[in-house]
């Protein structure tokens, strides 16, 4: 309980910037601190490093822009920066994604730490495992930041070498930001999460983070079940109901108690209009005429939890739910709001396609293991991959390790006990799909793509840690 104060004190008041999704760990750490003072220093340090150290911006103060109340058209992107796309890309997208357009979305700013992560963590894996046939990568940047625009121009020039298609979108600093005296970058990130629909045209938004590593080639089956979007959750009931956790603000925002913790997987695929509907619902529920008034009254918010819990209650059948927890179904349901219960059909295991690198410390490094195992299914194993000859890729059931663990291998969860065999079956089935799309030319698993990312990073004076000892 002293922690919050301690964090605020240790916080440099950066002029802006943020780290997407870091806020999820504030809660975990808070709860942990109750278990003793020993954790206190470690966690404060951890929080400082993860949550705020990376926020540092070098480009000084920001100008203010109107908040995004208007339709997205009024925020059209730099014409020089877009323009190139659409018909060709959409054709590929349509057939691969049931006729819907899809894009991966990262909300970031071009601060050194995030640019480093984008190249070395996200892009290196994306270029191997994300097929442009599924859709482009959209970066939502800060409109008022010249650094962000410059960064986008450079990345645009590298599209061809990296084999990826980028869309750059610029979000103005909202009016409400003038009231953000504490952690403005963090607040902006939270705020932005409720307005992605204003910047993205695609009907499906795959929300991800610059420090998410793809661990396997992504197939349409990882995204869709029929016309429904797959949702994974890994819920720690104690954390969900923690006093200063997300339960209360979620309840305040949508008028419904949380069913599960959805801040546990990437990408989080969400129908674009779910975000619109959720925002409108919040305003109606809170009886306010603009979102600023709602947002001001929702401290310690987890946007993905608000949006996906909204989806669970109000758009249930547009999504394919895969909820995991350590309790029995009966015990889990006993903690849900009266009249709400999940059933066995919503508990079926499903594979992850990323781990969250800043919170995943196990080795082998998942990109290395993911590459070697994928190669095994689509051709001959390179000599440097021989130790993966007989490895089952259980990293597909992990997301984070350590104290902030989110995974499906521990006692009571999907792959424990008798569940292990079903998880192995799902991993195998996934790689059979990978094989199929590899044959269709969706991925080539050519490490020269990674080398191209590393080269582009070096032009930004970024040296990515070595992953592969190439043959
Ligand atoms: C979104 O669609 C509109 C109208 O169809 C178009 O003008 C705009 O350029 C599109 N934006 C992106 C980022 O594709
Ligand atoms: C909603 O707010 C308006 C104006 O602030 C007020 O007149 C009205 O009674 C409120 N409605 C409810 C249901 O609280
Ligand atoms: C579980 O819920 C789903 C979706 O709400 C429903 O279609 C199904 O019939 C339910 N199954 C059982 C066993 O109640
Ligand atoms: C993998 O299994 C095969 C067949 O059981 C065996 O011949 C091979 O040596 C194993 N490879 C490794 C690296 O253990
Ligand atoms: C990289 O470092 C070199 C040498 O210190 C410098 O001249 C150059 O401007 C830097 N480039 C970037 C993009 O920071």
Q: For the chain, give every domain's residue range.
A: 3-55
Ligand 3 centre to CA of 345 (Å) is 6
In ligand 5, which atom is closest to the CA atom of 460?
Answer: 13
Residue 113 CB-half CA count within 13 A:
16
Contacts of 284 by beta carbon, 8 Å cutoff, 6+ apart:
none
Asked whether the beta carbons of 292 and 175 are under 8 A apart, the reply is yes
Ligand 2 centre to CA of 287 (Å) is 6
Q: Which of 306, 304, 305 is CA-nearest to residue 294? A: 306
Instruction: Among 461, 462, 463, say which to mutate for ligand 5: greatest number of ligand atoms within 8 Å of CB.
Output: 461
- Block means of pLDDT (10 residues each) for the chain, 471 residues, are 30 27 37 41 40 33 35 31 35 72 96 96 97 96 97 96 96 95 88 97 97 98 97 93 89 97 97 98 98 93 96 98 96 94 97 97 95 95 93 98 91 97 98 97 94 95 86 49
Cβ of 389 below 6 Å from ligand 4:
yes
Nearest CA to ligand 3 atom 7: 345
In ligand 1, which atom is closest to the CA atom of 138?
Answer: 13
Q: What is the pLDDT of residue 14?
A: 21
Print burial letters for 230-245: b (CB count within 10 Å at least 16), e (below 16). Answer: bbbbbbbbebbebeeb
Q: Could you give the CA distance from residue 376 to residue 386 in angstroms, rounded to a whole number?
A: 9
Ligand 4 centre to CA of 423 (Å) is 21
Ligand 5 interacting residues, C-beta cut-off 6 A:
460-461
Cβ of 390 below 6 Å from ligand 4:
yes
Q: Could you give the CA distance from residue 404 to residue 28 in angstroms, rounded to a whole number?
A: 7
Cβ of 461 below 6 Å from ligand 3:
no
Ligand 2 centre to CA of 255 (Å) is 16
Q: Is the peptide bond before 43 cis (omega within 30 degrees of 0)?
A: no
Q: What is the pLDDT of residue 231?
A: 98
Q: What is the pLDDT of residue 470?
A: 54
Ligand 3 centre to CA of 348 (Å) is 12
Ligand 4 centre to CA of 387 (Å) is 9
- Closest ligand to residue 71's CA: 1
Q: Could you give the CA distance from residue 232 to residue 225 in angstroms, rounded to a whole number?
A: 12
Beta pairing partners, 233? 323
Q: What is the pLDDT of residue 468?
A: 82
Q: What CA–CA distances, in Å, run from 444 to 71, 127, 223?
A: 39, 10, 20
Q: Could you give the CA distance from residue 398 to residue 178 in angstroms, rounded to a whole number?
A: 39
Q: Could you give the CA distance from residue 47 to residue 255 in angstroms, rounded to a whole number?
A: 30
Q: Which of 52, 67, 64, 68 is CA-nearest to residue 17? A: 52
In ligand 4, which atom is closest to the CA atom of 390?
Answer: 1
DSSP state of 138: E
- Reported for 80-88, long-range contacts at CB under 8 A and 24+ positions apart, including other chains, are 80/153, 81/149, 81/152, 81/153, 81/156, 81/168, 82/167, 82/168, 85/136, 85/165, 85/167
Ligand 5 centre to CA of 147 (Å) is 14
Instruction: Specify the pairing of strand 354-356 against strand 398-400.
Output: unpaired
Nearest CA to ligand 3 atom 1: 343
Nearest CA to ligand 3 atom 14: 343
What pTM was estimated for this model as a whole? 0.82
The residue assigned the tokens 């930041």 is: 145
Q: What is the pLDDT of residue 7?
A: 27
The residue assigned the tokens 């190249």 is: 119
Q: What is the pLDDT of residue 88?
A: 37
Q: What is the pLDDT of residue 159?
A: 94
Cβ of 317 below 6 Å from ligand 3:
no
- Closest ligand to residue 284's CA: 2
Q: Which of 278, 282, 300 is CA-nearest to residue 292? A: 282
Q: What CA–CA distances, in Å, run from 69 to 124, 147, 191?
A: 36, 25, 12
Beta pairing partners, 230? 320
Nearest CA to ligand 5 atom 13: 460
- Closest ligand to residue 342's CA: 3
Q: Could you give the CA distance from residue 75 to residue 255 in angstroms, rounded to a whole number?
A: 31
* Type and span of the H or E element at 324: strand 319-325
**Residues 147, 148, 149, 154, Cα dihedral to 10°:** 90
Q: Could you give the CA distance from residue 339 to residue 324 in angstroms, rounded to a whole number?
A: 20
- Burial of 157: CB neighbours in 10 Å, binned 0-12, 13-18, 19+: exposed
**Torsion-angle region of residue 251: left (phi > 0), alpha (psi -120 to 50) or beta?**
alpha
Angle 158-219-314 from CA coordinates, rounded to 5°: 105
Nearest CA to ligand 1 atom 10: 201
């Amino acid at each position: 309980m002293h922690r919050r104060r301690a964090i605020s004190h240790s916080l440099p008041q950066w002029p802006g910037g943020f780290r997407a999704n870091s806020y999820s760990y504030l809660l975990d750490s808070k709860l942990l601190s109750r278990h003793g003072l020993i954790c206190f220093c470690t966690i404060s340090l951890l929080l400082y490093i993860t949550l705020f150290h990376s926020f540092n911006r070098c480009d000084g103060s920001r100008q203010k822009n109107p908040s995004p109340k208007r339709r997205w058209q009024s925020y059209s992107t730099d014409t020089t920066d877009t323009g190139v796309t659409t018909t060709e890309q959409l054709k590929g997208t349509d057939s691969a994604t049931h006729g819907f357009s899809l894009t991966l979305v990262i909300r970031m700013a071009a601060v050194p730490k995030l640019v480093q992560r984008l190249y070395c963590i996200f892009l290196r894996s994306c270029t191997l495992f994300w097929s442009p046939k599924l859709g482009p990568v959209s970066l939502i940047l800060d409109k008022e930041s010249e650094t962000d625009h410059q960064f986008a121009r450079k990345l645009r020039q590298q599209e061809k070498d990296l084999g990826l298609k980028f869309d750059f979108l610029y979000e103005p600093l909202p009016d409400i930001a003038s009231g953000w005296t504490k952690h403005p970058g963090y607040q902006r990130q939270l705020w932005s999460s409720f307005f992605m629909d204003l910047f993205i045209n695609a009907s499906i938004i795959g929300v991800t983070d610059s420090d998410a590593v793809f661990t396997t080639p992504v197939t349409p089956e990882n995204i869709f079940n029929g016309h429904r979007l797959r949702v994974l959750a890994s819920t720690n009931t104690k954390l969900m109901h923690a006093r200063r956790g997300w339960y209360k603000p979620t309840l305040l925002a949508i008028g419904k108690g949380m069913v599960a913790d959805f801040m546990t997987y990437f990408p989080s695929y969400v129908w674009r209009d779910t975000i619109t509907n959720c925002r409108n619902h919040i305003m109606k529920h809170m009886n306010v005429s603009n979102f600023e008034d709602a947002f001001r009254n929702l401290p310690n918010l987890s946007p993905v939890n608000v949006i996906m819990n909204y989806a669970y209650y109000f758009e249930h059948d547009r999504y394919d739910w895969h909820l995991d927890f350590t309790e029995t179904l009966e015990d889990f349901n006993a903690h849900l709001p009266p009249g709400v219960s999940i059933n066995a059909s919503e508990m079926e295991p499903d594979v992850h396609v990323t781990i969250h690198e800043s919170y995943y410390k196990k080795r082998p490094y998942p990109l290395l293991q993911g590459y070697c195992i994928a190669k095994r299914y689509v051709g001959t194993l390179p000599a440097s991959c021989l130790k993966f000859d007989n490895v089952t890729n259980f990293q597909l059931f992990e997301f984070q390790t350590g104290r902030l663990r989110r995974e499906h291998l521990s006692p009571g969860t999907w792959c424990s006990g008798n569940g292990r065999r079903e998880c192995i079956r799902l991993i195998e089935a996934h790689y059979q799909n990978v094989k199929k799309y590899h044959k269709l030319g969706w991925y080539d698993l050519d490490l020269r793509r990674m080398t191209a990312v590393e080269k582009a990073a070096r032009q930004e004076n970024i040296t990515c840690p070595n992953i592969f000892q190439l043959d």
